[in-house]
Amino acid sequence: MKRTWYHVALARPDGAPLLVAASGEHMGQAIAEAQAHVAGSWAIAVDHAPDEAIPLGESVGKGHVVDAGSAPADLGTFRWPTGVLPSLAGARQLTAAGPGWTVRPQKLLVIEAQVAADQLGETFLSMIERLPSGDNLEVRVLDHFEDAATTDVWLTSRVNVKKILRFLDDHDDELFGNGHLELSIYARAQKGTLRLTEHKTIVWLADGHALEAEVKGWLGELHVPHVPELTTVSRAPHFHYRPAKSRDRKKLGEELFRQRLRKVDSLKKTARA
C-alpha cells in the first residue's frame, strides 16, 4: 500500500522541539512512527510534507523517519489526545491549549472539557460510570473518515450504563483514538447526552439544567480544572486521524455490525464552513 510523507513536530521532556519527516499508509501510522523514532516524545503538530521535503534515495532506505531539523519554538507542548493534531500553522494559534472545562454560552446547557492524551479514556469512562442512567450508545463514523460521501450513524439497542462501559472498555483504543468518530451516550430521563466529540473533547449537552451541578462536581473529582476559556483544536487548522493499528472504515463498520450495533442513518456530506 502506498505510503504518504508527513512533517511531524515532536515535543520532548528535555530539549527543543524537533521536526521529522515520517511516512505511513495513513497519518496515524506516520505519527506513531515519528514518536517511536524519538524516545519519550509526543506529537504537537503535523502537516503534509511538501514534495521538496520528501526524502529520496539513500535516506528512504534508512527507515521511514528522517530528521528534518528544529521545529518552530512557538508551537506549544500540550499532549493532544490521539486522533487530532493542529497543523504546523494552526499550532501557533493554540499555545494556550490545556486541560480544563467551561460552560459554553448556548441555548442548551453545554459543558465542555478537555484533558491530555493519557487522561482521556479514564476521564470519559469515569463520567459515563457516574451517569444515573444511559440508554443507548451512538457511534458516528464521520464523512471525513477516508473522505466518504456520508456520515454513518450506528446505534445500540436499549442498553444500560454497565453494558456501554463493557463495550467501550473492549474497544477503547480504537474508538477513543479515532478522530473520525463521535461517541454519544443518551440519558433520556435527564434529556441529556454525554459525548466524546471528533475533537476529543468531552461534552455534556442537556435541555435545561439536568445534572449541571453533578457534571461540574464530577469533573472536579477527576481533577479537571474549571477555566474561563477553553482552547480546543477546533479553533485552528487541524487534522483528524486514526490510530496506527486501527481498522479502516469498512472493517470498522463490519466490527460494529458484529457487536450488534445497527446502522440507523447515512447522512450525506455537506459543505463545511
pLDDT at 166: 95
Q: How many residues does the chain have?
A: 273
**Nearest alpha-carbon partner for 44 in 16, 93, 20, 8:** 8
Name which residue leads in pLDDT, 210 or 137: 137
Percent of the chain at pLDDT above 90? 84
Grid coordinates belonging to 149: 460521501
Residue 253 has pLDDT above 90, yes or no: yes
pLDDT in tens, 141-172: 999 999 999 999 999 998 899 999 999 999 99
**Nearest alpha-carbon partner for 155 in 139, 168, 169:** 139
Percent of the chain at pLDDT above 70? 96
Sheet holding 65-70, edge to edge: 42-48, 4-11, 18-24, 65-70
Confidence band for 58, pLDDT divided at 50, 70 and 90: very low
pLDDT at 23: 93
Whole-angstrom distance, CA of residue 150 vs CA of residue 141: 9
Confidence band for 263, pLDDT divided at 50, 70 and 90: very high
Q: What is the DSSP string of 53-93?
A: GS--THHHHT-SEEEEEEPPTTS----PPTTEEE-HHHHTT
Whole-angstrom distance, CA of residue 195 vs CA of residue 164: 13
According to DSSP, the residues that pair with 186 across neighbouring strands are 136, 193
Spell out the SS3 assignment of 127-149: HHHHCCCCCEEEEEECCCHHHCC
What is the pLDDT averaged over residues 40-64?
Answer: 77
pLDDT at 63: 58
The three-point CA angle 26-183-121 to 5° equals 80
pLDDT at 61: 47
Identify the weakest region by mean pLDDT among 75-84, 179-188, 264-273. 264-273
Specify the pTM: 0.94
pLDDT at 55: 73
Whole-angstrom distance, CA of residue 244 vs CA of residue 24: 9
Name which residue leads in pLDDT, 159 or 122: 122
